[in-house]
Amino acid sequence: MCYAIPGRVENLEGKIAIIDYFGEQKKAYNEIDKLKIGDYVYAQGGYVIERLSKEKALSTLQVWKETFFELQEKDLLLSKMQFENKNLDKRLLRILDKVSQNLSVSQEDYLDLLKRNNPNELNLIYKTANFIRHKNFGNACCVHGIIELSNQCARNCQYCGISVYNENLVRYKMLEEEILETAEMAIKTYGFKALVLQSGQDAYSVDELFKIIKKIKEKFAVLIFISVGEIGKPGLEKLYEAGARGVLLRFETSNSILFEKMHPGYKLETRVQELKNAYKMGYLILTGGLIGLPGQTEEDILNDIFLAKSLNAEMFSFGPFVPHPKTPLGKAISPTSQFMMKVLAVARFIDQDMAKILITTAFETIDKTAREEGLLSGANSVMLNVTPKEYKEQYTIYPNRAYLNKPVLEQIQETISLLQNIGRSPTDLGLGESSYDIEALK
């Protein structure tokens, strides 16, 4: 985890840099030439992405210093556990006690948590997840940007509104220049330090993506995640060479029978192999699944979380299924927001200190308060959409997506003010030319 503030290189052990942030030390893999102890850098997702001058670093740090500690204090207050209600069910308390000591918990106990509906009990489950998040990750919250490059897609995913089933959808494919412009705006104007490039399957050839990524990396200091479906081992190798360092690819469901029902003609095994290959090559892995698919059981969902963990996910991306009328699952129903919250909390219990947990836009689409509540129940990551408006409207994986009409700057301001209220420091979002006013964090 790295803050979107400059850190000072304290030590170098081969390719590993130890970076100091106001007395807190974090490790990052260095790919910058001739980096020295004492240099100031920005690091993201465990990679040093940029060196900056001492003057620039110190002036940014000066502004941040007080805010940094104030936010930490607020987070600490909000994540304290209180067991004032003595009438709580003993079994629940026993499970949460084990969870909070990171002792082994049975499948049955996790299922028990997913089945609870009493508001007091749920509150305690969420608070425990928040406590664990705070204990292991501190008050950092990832704020990545995502560009939806193209809604062209060659696949037949039964739930997806940009799949081949949606015959009337106006398809778009951003040109290289448009992508570079959008990336420049996201990085320079808004201050994003990590960007996800997403499209449907086969919208771009690997060669096209190679050129795009290489150009972005030549021009800007940014961590790039690709999210373009399955591209096979050679494709992954090529895009790593171009400079991509992360892959966002959901396995969607860990139940292989359900996977084949949802993706006729395709196999879970291939998807999982792709994620394993990517991890071996050094990519950061962002993965997860859809919650609430027809026929999916609670056991399946627990297995999804275990699968994401076993794939060494750097970040979990679990979101609710939202029906799209132009797909074969158009008449199915979304899970409840309460169920999603329980899934996120249990995910935090199962993976306590490795994976960040993302609040997905789909979750915010089914529940307007999901972001704040989710961040207080174990999650510590959000993704803001920086796709140009005219394209964003056509990227209809499901209908009525949250933030569809919200300009980027407003999204950033809202996010920053929410993070401020709950004492979190944004990572991956630095101070761009016109991103946000740091004074607003005080």
Tally of helices (H runs) and strands (E runs) in the chain: 15, 16
- 247, 278 Cβ separation under 8 angstroms: yes
Return the residue matching tokens 């049955």: 108
- 371, 381 Cβ separation under 8 angstroms: no
d(CA 147, CA 161): 17
d(CA 120, CA 80): 16
- 150, 199 Cβ separation under 8 angstroms: yes
| E strand spans, 128-184 | 140-150
Q: Which is nearer to ligand 5AD, 259 or 398 (CB)?
A: 398
**Exposed, middle or buried by CB within 10 Å (0-12, 13-18, 19+), for 407?**
exposed
Q: Which is nearer to ligand 5AD, 252 or 304 (CB)?
A: 252
Minimum Å gap between C-beta 365 and ligand 5AD is 8
Q: Which is nearer to ligand 5AD, 157 or 375 (CB)?
A: 157
3-class state of residue 254 by DSSP: coil
Q: Which is nearer to ligand 5AD, 46 or 399 (CB)?
A: 399
User: Could you tell me the two tokens for 168?
Assistant: 């009337």
d(CA 358, CA 378): 9
d(CA 256, CA 411): 37
CA contacts within 13 A on the Cβ side of 368: 2
User: Could you tell me the two tokens for 147?
Assistant: 């560009």
Minimum Å gap between C-beta 156 and ligand 5AD is 12
Q: Which is nearer to ligand 5AD, 190 or 398 (CB)?
A: 398
The pair phi, psi for residue 180, each rounded to 5°, is: -65, -40
Minimum Å gap between C-beta 317 and ligand 5AD is 8
Q: Which is nearer to ligand 5AD, 48 or 239 (CB)?
A: 239
3-class state of residue 203 by DSSP: coil
Minimum Å gap between C-beta 297 and ligand 5AD is 18
Q: Which is nearer to ligand 5AD, 131 or 398 (CB)?
A: 398
Return the residue matching tokens 């994003």: 192
Single-letter amino acid code for the residue at 270: T
Minimum Å gap between C-beta 398 and ligand 5AD is 4
Q: Which is nearer to ligand 5AD, 7 or 200 (CB)?
A: 200
Site for ligand 5AD, rule CB under 6 A:
159-161, 250, 252, 290, 319, 321-322, 324, 362, 397-398
- 377, 132 Cβ separation under 8 angstroms: no
Minimum Å gap between C-beta 358 and ligand 5AD is 12
Q: Which is nearer to ligand 5AD, 28 or 160 (CB)?
A: 160
d(CA 309, CA 315): 9
User: Could you tell me the two tokens for 247?
Assistant: 């892959």
Minimum Å gap between C-beta 354 and ligand 5AD is 21
d(CA 366, CA 319): 10
Minimum Å gap between C-beta 19 and ligand 5AD is 32
Q: Which is nearer to ligand 5AD, 217 or 371 (CB)?
A: 371
3-class state of residue 270 by DSSP: helix
Minimum Å gap between C-beta 167 and ligand 5AD is 16
Q: Which is nearer to ligand 5AD, 250 or 348 (CB)?
A: 250
